[in-house]
Amino acid sequence: MNCIAITGCAGLIGSHIVSKYLELGYLVVGIDSLIGGYRTNLPIHSNFEFFELDILDTNTLKAIFEKYNPSSVIHCAALAHEGLSVFSPKTITESIYIGTLSVASAAISSGVSLFVNTSSMARYGDIEPPFNETDTPRPADPYGLAKFHAEQQLNLLSDIHGIKVFHVVPHNVCGPHQCYSDPFRNALSIFTNRVIH
């Protein structure tokens, strides 16, 4: 059975990707710290293995990847607090940049062939919309800069180690499984909390 590993599997994007790959018949290994995602977003399924884990724990990630041998890693985990990044740049940068490198290091050392990285529209920063993939990013805050630097580091690791890397760049995603309890994260949650208060 083909195996795929998904970080941030309890969050909005990750949880939907988990469901799709289970539907396609994959063994899915899910990794999430449950800081920004909900356990209720996780499926109860015989082909789903969940690990509550901080992605900064590279050694445990490596052990998981070596045990399950996923062909691909889809990396959705991040502290998605763009506004907070201005006040806590270390926390956000560590989660996004170092966290991405931790997952990538474990994937490379375990022989994973494909790494799909979830970036952010924050990478574009001070560019006149609509954004285009050929635009040169100009991040305007530590969150966007960390996302952009993570992309650059992954591209370099791809050149060095041969792991295939793809970046996806969501733009204000919303829907079922969204974290509405956090009044400072994602546009819909911010608007909802402002209306409530």
Q: What is the pLDDT of residues 126-180, one digit of tens each?
A: 888 888 888 889 988 989 999 999 999 999 999 999 999 999 998 776 666 676 6
pLDDT tens digits along 113-132: 999 999 988 899 988 888 88
Give the amino acid at 34. L
Of residues 197, 173, 182, the one with CA closest to residue 16: 173
Does 182 have pLDDT greater than 70?
no
| Distance of alpha carbon 110 from alpha carbon 107, whole angstroms | 5
Predicted TM-score of the model (pTM): 0.89
Give the amino acid at 86. V
Catalytic residues: 143
Tell me what pLDDT residue 188 has: 66
The burial class, CB within 10 Å (0-12 / 13-18 / 19+), for 130 is: exposed
Half-sphere exposure in the Cβ direction for 101 (13 Å, CA): 12
The burial class, CB within 10 Å (0-12 / 13-18 / 19+), for 33 is: buried
